[in-house]
Amino acid sequence: MFSKILVFLIFSIISKLRSEDNLISYNVYYIPGIAEKEENTTISVFKEAQSVTLDKNCNIKKLSKEMFNITHTVFNFYVAGCDLIEIESNFLQDQNVSTKIMITDTKITKLKTHTFVDSEVEIIFLDHNSIEIIEERAFVNMTNLAQIFLNMNCITRLNRESFHNLPRLAAFRMQYNQLKTLEKSCLSFIKVDNAKVMLNHNEIVELHDGILDDLQVEKLFLYLAYNFIETLPTNIFDNRSLDTVDLSNNKITVIADICKRCIICHLLVYDNPLNVTHYDKILEFGKLNDIDITGLDFGKNNSHGFYTRKFVIVLILCLLLSPSSSQIISNF
Ligand SMILES: *[C@@H]1O[C@H](CO)[C@@H](O)[C@H](O)[C@H]1NC(C)=O
Ligand SMILES: *[C@@H]1O[C@H](CO)[C@@H](O)[C@H](O)[C@H]1NC(C)=O
Ligand SMILES: *[C@@H]1O[C@H](CO)[C@@H](O)[C@H](O)[C@H]1NC(C)=O
Ligand SMILES: *[C@@H]1O[C@H](CO)[C@@H](O)[C@H](O)[C@H]1NC(C)=O
Ligand SMILES: *[C@@H]1O[C@H](CO)[C@@H](O)[C@H](O)[C@H]1NC(C)=O
Ligand SMILES: *[C@@H]1O[C@H](CO)[C@@H](O)[C@H](O)[C@H]1NC(C)=O
Ligand SMILES: *[C@@H]1O[C@H](CO)[C@@H](O)[C@H](O)[C@H]1NC(C)=O
């Protein structure tokens, strides 16, 4: 009862302040601890609120449909740091959230089928949770959704079936997870030209044949740096149009057979144990396909005397340091 009065008071004060101040720039409703004290409290939203925020003082275990009555459209729906372990399917059904859903620092391990359905939102931010499994059709029918953030979770599989009918999805981030392989056609849910797929910092050892099958977009940006990829299937990028492919910091020794006909504007291969005896073949491949290959770094086994990136950095450092060191000397 007391907490209800408190919440009422907070809202009253905020509303009062706002009515006296026509500049509605800071306009976030903050509902601390509400579900902790009143188990079945419905979270309603008052006029002029821009966000529903449940933050680390809350003790919510489950996000369910019954919790919300968002009649007035809010831009953002934030949950951060709650003890959340479960999200009910379609938990925001018919709720009026227009722009961004952010759920972060929680203990959820699974995104169930139909977790996010038919929403108008443009961004779904789920970084830094404990998500291991994303069931099939967890994300469905969102016509405005442009960005999905799933960084820093424990996801082991990128399943295209999890993402269905997202016609505007232009940035997909699943970095710092535990992906081991990429399967055939795994990116076919991407429908937008120039889309960015960021899968850096995973544990990908193997790329299956045809990872880009059923993908009809131009100029994809594909980031696969900081993985454990050793070999690339022959012609993996054949007939594809990519803007950037970042394969830096992997364990690749040979890169010359990745396509016969393809458009790749930028191919980044920094910090791979490239086999120096393939150097000419790699250069020829780049020239033949008009690919700008950056980071041809043959590491320490540099029998052909090509300058490595590290060497250039050391050289620049020396040049930068030398005037100041001579100055120090002249001061003595
Ligand atoms: C909350 O709702 C559930 C199911 O609707 C009910 O079983 C439970 O007793 C309610 N708890 C309180 C504190 O009213
Ligand atoms: C939601 O809020 C509106 C207006 O505040 C109210 O009329 C309605 O009964 C509420 N719905 C539920 C399910 O609580
Ligand atoms: C969301 O807004 C629409 C139209 O403004 C309204 O018909 C609908 O009832 C609202 N949803 C909720 C849960 O209040
Ligand atoms: C998604 O949209 C399709 C086509 O409009 C519809 O048949 C399907 O039922 C929708 N799925 C969900 C989960 O709403
Ligand atoms: C690319 O297209 C050519 C000509 O259509 C075809 O012969 C070749 O098999 C294709 N490559 C791949 C990997 O699908
Ligand atoms: C460099 O050569 C040494 C032996 O000559 C070998 O053990 C090492 O794996 C090579 N490193 C790379 C990056 O190829
Ligand atoms: C480099 O490639 C050559 C020719 O393909 C091969 O004989 C040699 O074993 C390779 N070296 C390494 C370290 O993989």
Q: List the domain boundaries for the chain.
A: 24-178
Of the pLDDT bands very low, low, confident and very high (cuts 50, 70, 90), residue 81 is confident
Q: Between residues 278 and 8, which one has the greater pLDDT?
A: 278
Q: Is the pTM of this model over 0.75?
A: yes
Q: Assess contact for 216 and 241: CB atoms under 8 A.
A: no
Per the model's pLDDT, the better-predicted residue between 320 and 120 turns out to be: 120
**Which residue would you say has higher pLDDT here, 99 or 30?**
99
Q: Kindly tell me if the per-residue pLDDT of 42 is higher than 80.
A: no
CA dist 242 and 263 (Å) reads: 6
The atom of ligand 1 lying closest to the CA of 40 is 1
Per-range mean pLDDT, top range of 93-97, 115-119, 254-258: 115-119
Mean pLDDT of the chain: 82
Secondary structure percentages of the chain, helix, strand, coil, to 5: 20, 25, 60
Q: What is the residue with the minimal CA distance to atom 4 of ligand 4?
A: 141
Distance from residue 42's CA to the centre of ligand 2 (Å): 9
- What integer is the mean pLDDT of 146-163? 98
Q: What does the block give as tokens for 92?
A: 């925001």
At 303, is the pLDDT very low, low, confident or very high (cuts 50, 70, 90)?
very low
* Inter-residue contact 201 to 179 (CB < 8 Å): no
User: Closest Cα partner for 215 from 244, 188, 242?
Assistant: 188
Ligand 6 center to residue 301 CA distance, Å?
A: 6
Per-residue pLDDT band at 171 (split at 50, 70, 90): very high
Q: Output the pLDDT for position 276.
A: 83
The pLDDT, as a whole number, for residue 15 is 44
Atom of ligand 6 nearest to the CA of 276: 14
Looking at residues 243-253, what average pLDDT do you find? 95
Query: Side chain identity at 218, as an amino acid letter?
Result: E
Residues within a 6 A CB radius of ligand 7: 253, 275, 277-278
CATH placement of domain 24-178: 3.80.10.10
Tell me if residue 276 falls in helix, strand or coil. helix
Which residues are CB-neighbours of 205 under 8 A, at least 6 positions away? 180, 181, 227, 228, 229, 230
pLDDT of residue 151: 98
Ligand with an atom nearest the CA of residue 67: 2
Please give the average per-residue pLDDT across 224-235, as a whole number.
95
> Atom 6, ligand 1: which residue's CA is nearest?
40
Check residue 314 and give its pLDDT.
63
DSSP string for 27-58: -EEE-TTHHHHSTT--EE--TT--EEEE-TT-
Q: Whose CA is nearest to atom 9 of ligand 4?
A: 141
DSSP notation for 152-174 = SS------GGGEE--TT--EEE-
Spatial distance between the Cα atoms of 301 and 311, rounded to a whole number of angstroms: 13
Closest by CA position to 79, among listed 109, 51, 98: 51
Alpha helices in the chain (DSSP H): 2-20, 34-37, 279-288, 309-331
Whether residue 239 has its Cβ less than 6 Å from ligand 6: no
Q: Which atom of ligand 6 is nearest to the CA of 301?
A: 1
Please state the atom number of ligand 3 nearest to the C-alpha of residue 71.
14
Q: How far is the CA of 227 from the centre of ligand 1 (A)?
A: 47
pLDDT of residue 255: 87
